Structure 1
């Protein structure tokens, strides 16, 4: 499944209609969730049928396309099934009990309720919400795909405006050119990543660089009167600044992951529990800024597209063991150089860890190929 995204251009009345569609989607999802809470043995089909009841009882719900109402019910069912799966697998901690949504930012149409013009530059939403004809701003040629391949059309609200996503049923085929090389990578805070060959990538620290401006915008927001138009404008400026950092972080992660996959036939990395690592309040901000999870997810995604081996290994003792002889050399986080008293190996701590990661993968330590990365915001 490929996702093509465009920015939507319309007038104020159309944007207000989109906002109404978002509120109706949230209403239907929450009502379906309430039905599941109040009654026993509710299945997915029951929620689908309940959409017709809501459309009959509420005129504003009837305006939304029928398949869009069903997609809203699917969201409620997805939250329910995730809760069931977490309980069944005995996931530690909170199981993710479904919650009511307060700020829905997307509405999803399936195969009806919209029409794409032949030039691929405009789309018309034809349900009762009154969104109408909008211009698509982007460089992707969505009109080259048959309409039968477009399975979903989403309208997404972000700080930078409204966007339209087309989910196309198509396989991305990439012919990987074998390089005959394998590599282990160790992610960190001083260097974004270090591989077993000693190559390092500097940590861009996007949030740290933008932190002063974000704090200034946050202070301006806090000074505005609640409910005023100036407060709304300040909030939008702050949201756009955060969105810029998010996009910078994702763009960097994707480019680094793609470059890594193209140049190797096997990639090994640590199966880190990042959610546990950010409990360290001294490092949480830096770890979140580095976004290791996003980077490794894209490594797995591109690895699957290129059909190369992406192997996760257990992180135990990768920094402590010597990559030359295997001797345990204990060191704190402040010690950045590995010095082995047994074989005399001296090298950077991260390079030593990357070497151990690659050895674990080559020795058959349990791992698996990564799956597709999540859809970007």
Structure 2
């Protein structure tokens, strides 16, 4: 499934209609959630039937496309089913009980309610909300895909305007020649990551660079009167700055992950629990600014696209364990050099990256899904042929 996004252009009345459609989608979702709380023994099909009841009772709900109402009901059921799954798994802490949505920013259409122009430069929404024809501007080309391949169309509202997303049903895969390289990645705050070859990538720190600007914009918002037009304008400027930072993080993660996956046949990385790590209030801002989880998501995605193996290993003792002799050398977080009694002296992150690669190769070796020679990384001999990649591999 590919998602292409385009900037939408229209007049003020059209964007007002978009806001009304988003509010209606939020109303349908919250109504379905209320219906579930009153009748716990229902399924997603009952929620779809309840959408017709809402359309008969409320004219503004009937103005929204019927499949768009069903998509909103599916969002409610997605939250309900996730809660059920967490309860069955018996996870500790909160189970994620479904909550009512207060600030929805998107509405989703299925196969009806919209019509794409033949030149693929505009889209017309045909329901009774009055959105009409919106011009599209973007870098993607929709001419390669037929309208039958477009399964969903979303209208998304952001600080910089309204965007149209197309969810296209297509399998993306690219075949490249194996090169026999393996790599282990140790992410950090000082450097974005250090690999098992000793190469480091600088941490861009996008939020830190614009922190003074954001503080100034936040003070401007707090000084404005609530509900005034000036406060709305100040919030708009603050939202645009945050949106720019999030886009910079995403762009950096995509480009870096693609480069790493294309250059190696196996990528081992730490299976970090970011949710628990950000509980440290001293490092939470820097951890969120690094966006490690987004980098991992794109590593796994490009691993599937280019048919590479990505392995998430247990991060326990990767920094304290000596990569040469296996001895545990305890060290504080401020200690950046690994010194072992066996004579091993190297950077702390470099040592951790070597351990991560060793564990990744050990995990894949036990499953029998990948065959590589690891001698160029750690000096160990492999029991299988070098450079061999099976087509049916186990991805992360």
TM-score band, normalised by the shorter chain?
over 0.9
For 1:47-126, list aligned pairs within 5 A.
Answer: 47-126=47-126
In structure 1, the partner of 2:247 is 247
SS at match of 1:364: helix
Please give the per-residue CA displacement for 1:174-219, whole angstroms capped at 9, x wherever unaligned.
1122111000000000000000000000000000111100000000
SS at match of 2:287: helix
Distance in 2 (CA, whole Å) between partners of 1:193 and 1:350 is: 8
TM-score (norm 1): 0.96
Distance in 2 (CA, whole Å) between partners of 1:347 and 1:336 is: 9
In structure 2, the partner of 1:284 is 284
In structure 1, the partner of 2:210 is 210
Please give the per-residue CA displacement for 1:327-376, whole angstroms capped at 9, x wherever unaligned.
111111000001111x20111000000000011111227899556xxxxx
Poorly superposed stretches of 4+, deviation over 4 Å: 365-371
Distance in 2 (CA, whole Å) between partners of 1:147 and 1:301 is: 25
> Contact 1:297–1:370 (CA<8 Å) still a contact in 2?
no
Distance in 1 (CA, whole Å) between partners of 2:279 and 2:177 is: 41
In structure 1, the partner of 2:185 is 185
Q: Which region of structure 1 is more displaced relative to structure 2, 11-20 or 298-307?
A: 298-307
> Contact 2:173–2:304 (CA<8 Å) still a contact in 1?
no
For 1:1-377, list aligned pairs within 5 A.
Answer: 1-341=1-341, 343-364=342-363, 370=395
> Contact 1:14–1:132 (CA<8 Å) still a contact in 2?
yes
Please give the per-residue CA displacement for 1:225-250, whole angstroms capped at 9, x wherever unaligned.
11110000000000000000000011
CA shift, 1:307, in A, is 0.8
Distance in 2 (CA, whole Å) between partners of 1:29 and 1:363 is: 47
Distance in 1 (CA, whole Å) between partners of 2:301 and 2:123 is: 30
How many residue pairs get aligned? The number is 370
> Contact 1:149–1:170 (CA<8 Å) still a contact in 2?
yes
TM-score (norm 2): 0.92
> Contact 1:194–1:200 (CA<8 Å) still a contact in 2?
yes
Root-mean-square deviation (CA, aligned residues, Å) is: 1.2
Distance 1:297 1:370, change over 3 A: farther
Distance in 1 (CA, whole Å) between partners of 2:91 and 2:327 is: 35
Any gaps of 5 or more consecutive residues in structure 2?
368-392
> Contact 2:121–2:135 (CA<8 Å) still a contact in 1?
yes
